[in-house]
Structure 1
Amino acid sequence: MTCHACGAQLSSTARFCHKCGAAVATAGVTGWRAGLPWGLAGAALGALVTVLAMRGAGARSQEPETVAPAPGSRLQAPDISQMSPEERANRLFNRVMMLAESGKQDSVEFFLPMALGAYAQLPTLDADARYHVGMLQLAGGDAKGALAQADTIRQSIPTHLFIYVLRAHAYQVLGNLAEERRAYDDFLRNEPAELARKRPEYAQGAHLDALTNFHSEAERQGRSGPGRNP
């Protein structure tokens, strides 16, 4: 048995996915109840608890109190009450990116609105958060939205490397080869000075690997022929 949301292998008695927290569909649970994203629906936690309490009360009124709980019924949904809004948004971002890299577009479409909603609830968005939003928009096919995030980052930090990453990917989606290569060239030109600033979002454990891979792609594009900017 596999998780309907992320595809992880599950045991036959699992009630929730151990990776993404989605409820597992069973013979007695169908429709929207089978797809409640337990691990990620932080914004609706209060309402969800109320619904569960009502369902539990209804079930007790229909079944003898001596009925033993079904296997796995004692499993609890992942506790998201202790997560900060930033942690919740980052968790959703990572989930969507992993799904996108795996080509699971149906799951991307399932989690994407929740991820964007989580970032919309943050009081402010720094360059790192706007980069996340832009990458999420790209995962959903919204290249113009990603360009808007790049422009907003540029207003506060004119040479931030995330500007060029978002622009290159967005123009690639839009089929604008000249602007895509311009973004790669701008990245290579500003990279040494930007990395020397040691911004937290450039560090190992943040986005250093992504920037390193983008650097390699920028160099490859620069050697690929016409369209390279001086």
Structure 2
Amino acid sequence: MSCRACGSAVPATAKFCHKCGANLKAELPAAAWRVGLPWGIAGAAVGALLTALVLRSGAGRGATNEVQASFGSPLPAPDISQMSPEERASRLFNRVMVLAQADKQDSVSFFLPMAIGAYQQLPALDNDARYHVGLLQLAGGNTTPALAEADTILTSTPTHLFGFVLRAQAYHQLGDRAKERRAYAAFLKNAPAERARNRPEYNDHKTFLDAFHQEAVRRQSAAPR
């Protein structure tokens, strides 16, 4: 038996490929990922993508080659069998985010369960990991679980900025402009004190948070009085 994603030989009883992590029991979407699907985008867009992905520092270093590859360059599937659980989760997160940025929704749907499952296998989820899970859910258009991650973050840390970011993005997808504005307002209200705490996850995602802050200011200034 061969993996339909990377072509590796796998036992007939296997549920996931030991090489690339593909779900061997799932139906393959019509336009799903195949060997050679590029991981990244070319040129200046790479920098913007890295900002949008809000990669953890360790994950960013581990995925540099994949993300910087040109969009037309075939790349083999990553070997996740030798990775730690944390690295596996981060690598799959990177892949889903790159595919979402490229608007490859069939491929996002294919890899999303693997990425979510990888985070579920971690011993514990801190606020940064829950933020990543929320972003994954939003990439799949799943606003309810994304909002649940935001609620969990804000329950444990009521002023944590990642909770407001997830809420703003989820309500934007839902078209609930009133709640979206409230999420942006809550972000702006709590940002000065929260950024002063120098939480490690804020330092990892500084560029993204700066950009989100600017967007929040713009949204608030454009809001109806």
TM-score when normalising by structure 1? 0.65
Counterparts in 2 of 1:114 and 1:196: CA distance versus 1, 3 Å: same
Asked if the contact 1:168–1:181 (Cα under 8 Å) also holds between the matched residues in 2, the reply is yes
Residue 130 of structure 2 corresponds to residue 130 of structure 1: yes
**Residue 33 of structure 1 pairs with residue 31 of structure 2:** no
Residue in 1 aligned with 2:178? 178
SS of 2:18's partner is helix
Q: Which amino acid aligns with 2:210?
A: T
Aligned match of 2:210: 212
Maintained 8 Å contact 1:161/1:191: yes
The count of aligned residue pairs is 165
In structure 2, the gaps of 5 or more residues are: 9-13, 22-75
* Structure 1 residue runs without a partner (length 5+): 1-30, 49-75
Structure 1 distance, partners of 2:78, 2:187, is 40
Q: How does 1:59-208 map to 2 (within 5 A)?
A: 78-203=78-203, 206-208=204-206
Residue 39 of structure 2 is matched in structure 1 by: none
Partner residue in 2 for 1:45: 18
The root-mean-square deviation of aligned C-alpha atoms, in Å, is 2.6
- 1:78 and 1:146 mapped to 2: Cα distance? 27
Would the aligned equivalents of 1:42 and 1:88 in 2 still touch at CA under 8 Å?
no
Q: Is the 8 A contact 2:172 2:180 kept in 1?
A: yes
Q: Is the 8 A contact 2:181 2:219 kept in 1?
A: yes
Instruction: Output the CA distance in 1 between the equivalents of 2:104 and 2:128.
Output: 25
User: How much identity, in percent, do the aligned residues show?
Assistant: 62
Superposition deviation, residue 33 in structure 1: 3.4
After superposition, the Cα gap between the structure-2 partners of 1:78 and 1:148, relative to the gap in structure 1 and judged at 3 Å, is closer
TM-score, normalization by structure 2: 0.67
Q: 1:42-85 deviations in whole A, cap 9, x for unaligned?
A: 96529x9xxxxxxxxxxxxxxxxxxxxxxxxxxx9754344210
Tell which has more relative contact order, 1 or 2 (C-alpha 8 A, sep 6+): 2
Q: Equivalent residue for 1:24?
A: none
The alignment partner of 1:123 has SS state of coil
Distance 1:37 1:220 in 2: 48
Moved more, 157-166 or 98-107: 98-107
Which whole-Å CA distance do the structure 2 matches of 1:32 and 1:101 have between them? 29
- Shift, 1:225, TM fit: 2.6
Encode CA deviations 1:116-174: one digit per residue, 9 max, x unaligned: 01011111111001000101001111111111001101111110000110000011111
Asked if the contact 2:147–2:166 (Cα under 8 Å) also holds between the matched residues in 1, the reply is yes
Contact 2:3/2:17 (8 A) holds in 1: no
Q: In structure 2, which of residues 204, 221, 224 is the aligned counterpart of residue 223 of structure 1? A: 221
Q: What is the Cα deviation at residue 99 of structure 1?
A: 1.1
Q: Which residue type is aligned with residue 223 of structure 1? A: S
CA offset at residue 226 of structure 1?
A: 1.3
- 1-side partners of 2:219 and 2:158: how far apart? 23
Structure 2 match to 1:71: none
Distance 1:123 1:193, change over 3 A: same
Equivalent residues of 1:42, 1:81 under 8 A apart: no
1-side partners of 2:77 and 2:172: how far apart? Answer: 40
